[in-house]
Amino acid sequence: MSAVAVRELWRGRVWLARAWHVVEETQELVVLANRPGSETRLPVDAAGTRLRVPRDEWSLAPGRWENWTLRVARPGDPFSTLLFYDDCGRFLSWYVNFEQPLRRTPLGWDTLDWKLDLLAFPDGTTRRKDEDELAEAARAGVVDADEVRALAERVASDPPWPTGWEDRAPSEELEPAVLPDGWQCV
């Protein structure tokens, strides 16, 4: 399974980068897998504090992915659906990440997170996450909060789950993914 970078770009620079393994890539669907320990680069301020919303000044610090996860996306959709699993491979929940549609690059995919997320659980409950970050990102000129909220309403009324991947957790044998050479180049 090959490793790729899923990067968020802001103002012509890498804002965040995460290594993922490609499970499936077709014209209709992209499925990526991750596991705890995979390599990431996270934005921090001058004091080394993690930044959640893009701003003018930042640097990237090493980090590690923390969950057993599949990422399911349809090219052109302004969101990805992440499926989370426990350490035994049992499906836990869906996590809709609203974002710029994934753009294929030689290294993987580029996007930019629009901050608002929709969590959905097998019992049918849903809830939004990171409304505060959405408001902050809107004030910073990163997103239009009303457009992102309207998108969340549309997705909640016609959910992208189940995806058909819920019973296909990442294999325990999957090695932590490493960012490919050149991940920092835009």
- Listed by start position, the domains of the chain span 3-157
Q: State how far the Cα of 176 lies from the Cα of 26, in Å rounded to an integer.
A: 23
Q: Chain-wide mean pLDDT for the chain? A: 97
- Whole-structure pTM value: 0.96
Contact 63, 37 (CB under 8 A): no
Residue 1: pLDDT over 90: no
Q: What is the pLDDT of residue 2?
A: 79
pLDDT tens-place string over residues 27-58: 999 999 999 999 999 999 999 999 999 999 99
Judge whether residue 78 has pLDDT over 80.
yes
Torsion of CA 184, 118, 85, 83, to 10 degrees: -70
CATH architecture, range 3-157: Beta Barrel (2.40)
Beta strands in the chain (DSSP E): 3-10, 13-25, 30-34, 39-44, 59-64, 68-73, 79-85, 91-99, 103-105, 108-111, 113-120, 126-129
Average pLDDT value for residue range 155-168: 97
Q: Which residue has the tokens 């014209």?
A: 27
Nearest CA to 13 among 36, 33, 35, 41?
41
pLDDT for 76? 96
